Amino acid sequence: MALYKVKVFSRFERFWHWTQALLIFTLLFSGMGIHGFYQVLSFEKLVWLHVAAALSLITLWIFAIFWHLTTGNWRHYLPTTQGMGKVVRYYAYGIFKGEEHPYRKRFWHKHNPLQALAYLGLKLGLFPVLWITGLLYLSYGLWSQGPVTASTLQWVAVVHTFFAFLMAAFVIIHVYLITTGHGFLQHLMPMITGYDEVELTDAERAYLEEDEPGRIIE
């Protein structure tokens, strides 16, 4: 397989990525303020900002899930053990020795095995827990009079906050990894322009040149 400049991130995917990033930063900012880490805005404004950002993010996620399912892009998140050991070794050791990344993006596998596993964990684990606990906390008035006690709300808040810290850790690691390897801009530009270097088989190249010529640059 040879390397080609291919549009791997569509316009919607880039919009989804940057809008999601903005909303997540807004949620982390307002959430820390609600917990008393700082006092820039009033508690009421922070709660309003947090709820508005959360509902906007849930709406965005619903559209993104529909897009992934209808376009077939969900395939990029299927985890595989092939090459996993080399990628883990690279991030644990090789990256600090200036070694080349062992994984090359492919047409239907633009995420390396560790990325695919991490993103799948986010989409099937971390995000849903944040959705459910956040909506439970927001709708407490609807179920507080039933058999559930106030202690349940406390646990809902604890779980929500714990997973929010996990989200913050992911963001920090994600931003850090962008700065590694060949440089910040090389990792960042594909999510701005949509184009990245991808390995293509002869069949994949022929398909793109025939059916989607705008996605490939010679």
Domain with 129 in it: what CATH number?
A: 1.20.950.20
Contact (CB, 8 A) for 216 and 209: yes
Helix or strand (DSSP H, E) at 5:
strand 2-7
Cα separation, 126 vs 149, in Å, equals 25
What was the pLDDT predicted at 23? 97
Contact (CB, 8 A) for 164 and 137: no
Cα separation, 97 vs 179, in Å, equals 15
Where do we find the tokens 């897009």? 67
- Helix axis angle for 150-178 and 127-138, nearest 10°, is 140
Question: Mean pLDDT in runs of 10 for the chain (218 residues)?
Answer: 83 94 96 91 94 96 92 82 86 82 77 86 92 91 70 88 95 86 76 87 80 77
Strands 216-217 and 2-7: antiparallel
Please count the structural domains in the chain.
1
What was the pLDDT predicted at 198? 83
Contact (CB, 8 A) for 107 and 200: yes
- Helix axis angle for 113-121 and 84-92, nearest 10°, is 90
What was the pLDDT predicted at 129? 96
* Among 215, 175, 218, 176, CA closest to 195: 215
What was the pLDDT predicted at 146? 64
List the domain range (segments joined by +) for residue 86. Answer: 2-217
